[in-house]
Structure 1
Amino acid sequence: MSADKKRQVAVVGGGWAGCAAAVALLDAGCDVTLFEAARTLGGRARAIETNGRLLDNGQHIMLGAYTDTLRLMRRVGVDPKRALLRLPLQMRYPAGDEGMDFVAPRLPAPLHMLVALLRARGLDRADKLALARFKTTARWMGWQLHNDCTVAELLVRYDQTERLNRLMWRPLCLAALNTPPERASAQVFLAVLRDSLGAKRAASDMLIPRVLLDALFPQAARRYLESRGAVVHTGRRIDALSPDGGTWIVRAGADTHTFDAVVLAAPPWQAAALLRSLDGTAGIVSRLDALDYEPIATVYLQYAAGVCLPLPFCALADAPRDNRWGQFVFDRGQLDPGQDGLLAVVISSADPAGDIGQEALAASVAAQLAAAFAQPALASPQWTRVITEKRATFACTPALDRPANTTGLAGLALAGDYTACDYPATLEAAVRSGVAAAAVITGSKR
């Protein structure tokens, strides 16, 4: 290849990892072609149309520590200050639903956590001492374990109280890892806590999207790419990849394309299907095949205009045995005036909830909200919609062998939230993976 010829790179998959890889490759001077099988970009973090409007297929809470995501949002023209509601680190329950209230004030770290602990309501002295002991010990250990274990085992080891486990650690584990504490990786959980409870105040802030997830990054990434000469194909499924000397053949139906390199940013089950026939990929394919998945259900409930909650989002005390499934509720009207009266309730690791049927689940969640907020009218929404992403994330279990961005094949890199890093399947993990895959292709350092 001549020195003045740009490297031709294909990105297969237009989720957050693929979009991040495409932007990073373009910025590194490559000619980029992005292929996405769906009609829109965004992957498993996207909007869908229902009841004549667009709704996200799930709610996300980001952290101020999501530096790569925030950087790329700015790079493609999204202003995080407008697109995201920034709140201090918190775990707040309705007064009629356990009543715990934990909020980190806007003070320098670690003072913000000390004051939050002293001011916390709904925790007694034993709970506060247990939380302080956990944070102190974890920080002393550098938020690292010699041998991974489950979150449940870690909590026993740190002598955490039953109330703290139920109102703090379990919901945080479900929200961050989408895996129950009894099966979730303690090491990955500690990495999340390092960047929340153990971080500087601004890094620990919670960032809640005000806009649809499509508008938060993928749509802007597409405009950025196309305005700079990249090609974006939606509705174009890639059927096969094959090396050809020093290039790669990418086949989509009857069409074939030749590229110098490929970033494979498809979901793990699709990536495995494309890699299976290639020599030297057996180890990667076995890791991909070994992944299990966890669902997330989001229950949308539309009420009359003006109906709102005391806060933009609240934790909920779930108790599946008592038909209380919701774990967090978001008041979409406080985030976007165009969604006045719309509440979104999230159920992570949602397999049991799905067994009762969508209509029964929505009715149960509405009754749960009415009781938690002492607002009987919340039991009777105008309409409901349950959106379940069955393979929302991989099951983040202890010592999980996640594949690297490198594949061992020249000119081929993997990108996705499932690749090896210290984060669970989050938007930040996806973006970091996309940037890392681009660096593999260009030979640059992260």
Structure 2
Amino acid sequence: MTALNPSQLNPSSKCVAIIGGGYAGMAAAVELAAAGIQVTVFEAGKVLGGRARRVERASLSSHTTVNKPAPLDNGQHLVIGAYSELLRLMKQCGVDLDAAFLRQPMRLQVEPDFLLECPRLPAPLHLAVGLFRAKGLSWRERWALIRAIQGAKWRGWQLRHDMTVAEWLQAQRQPDGLISRFWAPLTLAALNTPLELASAQVLLNVLRDSLGGRRAASDLMLPQLDFTELFPAPAAEYLKKLGGYIRLGQRVKAIDGNTGGWYLDDDDQRFDAVIVATAPHQTAKLLAEVEQTRVLAQQLAAWPYQPIVTVYLQYEADVKLSQPMLGLSDSFSQWVFDRGVTHDCAGLIAVVISAQGLHSGLSHDELALAVQAELHLRLGLPDLVLQQQVITEKRATFACTPDLVRPDHRTEITGLYLAGDYTAGLASMKGASRGEYPATLEGAVRSGVKAAQAVLKDFKGIAL
């Protein structure tokens, strides 16, 4: 995707308000500002990033800090080389990608014994060799994995009709051991939805752009910055340099307008368009007050969600994992990250638990103790920690279920747009209402870019 050339527009009198300073909102802001539009971003919180933001925690210290503890993130998010739009906008905002990420070829290690590692070979050889050499699988399981992925590739990564991942795996005759060690952890990591509920088509979309793309597209890119510094903060600086504004700590409670202009709350500042880039339940509250969007508001108010829990455990500084990222099968702990490697926080381990499960009934203290016990038993980490912190995002992502109908970027009202990973995204440009991507950073960024491009085209008088 590329931004429209500013010379194609006469934007000098155009002003756009963006409600929400997460990845979708900031992506829209960068795209619009680059085209010469004056942008004002309204963010209710004190920190940019939305559901991927920096969290200051004085109670959890890092051995690498002297005056104050290193910041945490409200969750862990994985980036892959296929996230072209996120990487493009980061670079556009002046971020050094080599410094921002620890980049390595695809390596999925799930304890106790599974390992899929793709070597630095041209595609598709990297995938073929990786699948052939996959460890921890019997030859029957190895062949079943190759058959499923190659079969999906031969069919253009498209299903005739969507189904759950569990149903698709059954149709592909995938053995139970392969499902527990590979497909279940992968589905949770990619879609944050249990495979019994998750969309097989969306999972195939992710596999298409990663394992089915260029060799570099499958690279794992582990952030070495907190999620506010990774993109939203540099985007804010980029926006300010182009004459835009960031209003932190300002929650928008009402929007009012039409083709004659838009106004937020009781402010008398007029905007030519508004992009609502908040979570569905927050967007629903704003749209419920507008007659033409009440039906959409009702849909968004009932939007399905899945949680993500991150357990931070501070060990002694010499404690580390064998790899920066490890998976665990058949346990509460799903993916384990060594922030000593990625964030220079020695001894700090982050454990991610995606979606609802048996852990949902535990208190934070109970869950932290259970996770500590698992890491001690499965990975040999000490059975005692110096400090712990549990962060739960109850509405971390939408539940990525089959045939979920997602709203378009345009609403029923001219000048009012939506952005967010829950929107139809690229699929809306093709006449479909099913989004291509799950609730990822890339999905959010793509939605922001598409919402911005819709605004620019409407300013120009071009219909999508």
Range of TM-score over shorter length: over 0.9
Quote how far apart the aligned CAs of 1:434 are: 0.5
User: Where in structure 2 are there 5+ consecutive unaligned residues?
Assistant: 1-8, 60-68, 425-434
Question: Hey, what's the Cα distance between the residues in 1 that align with 2:319 and 2:380?
Answer: 13
Residue among 369, 379, 384 paired with 1:363: 369
Q: Which amino acid aligns with 1:415?
A: A
Q: Is the 8 A contact 2:42 2:246 kept in 1?
A: yes
- Tell me the C-alpha RMSD between the 2 structures: 1.6
Residue among 397, 400, 417 paired with 1:396: 400
Which residue pairs with 1:284 in the alignment?
Answer: 296
Please give the per-residue CA displacement for 1:224-252, whole angstroms capped at 9, x wherever unaligned.
1112210110000111111144211111x
Q: TM-score, normalised by structure 1?
A: 0.94
Q: Given the superposition, is the C-alpha separation of residues 4 and 426 from structure 1 closer, same or farther in structure 2, using an over 3 Å criterion? A: closer
Q: Which amino acid aligns with 2:106?
A: L
Question: Hey, what's the Cα distance between the residues in 2 that align with 1:335 and 1:5?
Answer: 43
Q: Given the superposition, is the C-alpha separation of residues 4 and 192 from structure 1 closer, same or farther in structure 2, using an over 3 Å criterion? A: closer
Q: Is the 8 A contact 1:328 1:346 kept in 2?
A: yes
- The secondary structure found in structure 2 opposite 1:174 is helix
Residue among 18, 21, 24 paired with 1:17: 24
Question: Hey, what's the Cα distance between the residues in 1 that align with 2:10 and 2:370?
Answer: 64
Please list, as runs of the form range in 1=range in 2, the aligned pairs for 1:179-258 lying within 5 A after superposition.
179-251=193-265, 254-258=266-270
Q: TM-score, normalised by structure 2?
A: 0.90
Which residue pairs with 2:436 in the alignment?
Answer: 422
Which residue pairs with 1:62 in the alignment?
Answer: 79
Q: Is the 8 A contact 1:104 1:116 kept in 2?
A: yes
Q: Is the 8 A contact 1:89 1:196 kept in 2?
A: no
Please give the per-residue CA displacement for 1:278-310, whole angstroms capped at 9, x wherever unaligned.
232244224313311110000001011121111
Question: Hey, what's the Cα distance between the residues in 1 that align with 2:303 and 2:454?
Answer: 23
Which residue pairs with 2:284 in the alignment?
Answer: 272
Please list, as runs of the form range in 1=range in 2, the aligned pairs for 1:318-329 lying within 5 A after superposition.
318=330, 324-329=331-336
Residue among 369, 381, 387 paired with 1:383: 387
Identity, % of aligned pairs?
48
Quote how far apart the aligned CAs of 1:351 are: 4.9
Which residue pairs with 2:39 in the alignment?
Answer: 32
1:141 aligns with 2:152: no
Q: Which amino acid aligns with 1:297?
A: V
- The secondary structure found in structure 2 opposite 1:5 is helix
Q: Is the 8 A contact 1:295 1:351 kept in 2?
A: no
Which residue pairs with 1:173 in the alignment?
Answer: 187
Residue among 127, 134, 156 paired with 2:170: 156
Residue among 370, 379, 403 paired with 1:373: 379
- The secondary structure found in structure 1 opposite 2:270 is strand
Residue among 75, 87, 94 paired with 2:92: 75
Q: Which amino acid aligns with 1:180?
A: P
Question: Hey, what's the Cα distance between the residues in 2 that align with 1:244 and 1:403?
Answer: 20
- The secondary structure found in structure 1 opposite 2:396 is strand
Which residue pairs with 2:320 in the alignment?
Answer: 308
Which residue pairs with 1:321 in the alignment?
Answer: none
Which residue pairs with 2:65 in the alignment?
Answer: none
Please give the per-residue CA displacement for 1:22-63, whole angstroms capped at 9, x wherever unaligned.
111101111111100111111010111212441001111111
Please give the per-residue CA displacement for 1:414-444, whole angstroms capped at 9, x wherever unaligned.
0001001300000001000001000111107
- The secondary structure found in structure 2 opposite 1:32 is strand
Q: Given the superposition, is the C-alpha separation of residues 260 and 300 from structure 1 closer, same or farther in structure 2, using an over 3 Å criterion? A: same
Question: Hey, what's the Cα distance between the residues in 2 that align with 1:351 and 1:123?
Answer: 26
User: Where in structure 1 are there 5+ consecutive unaligned residues?
Assistant: 319-323
Q: How many residues align?
A: 432
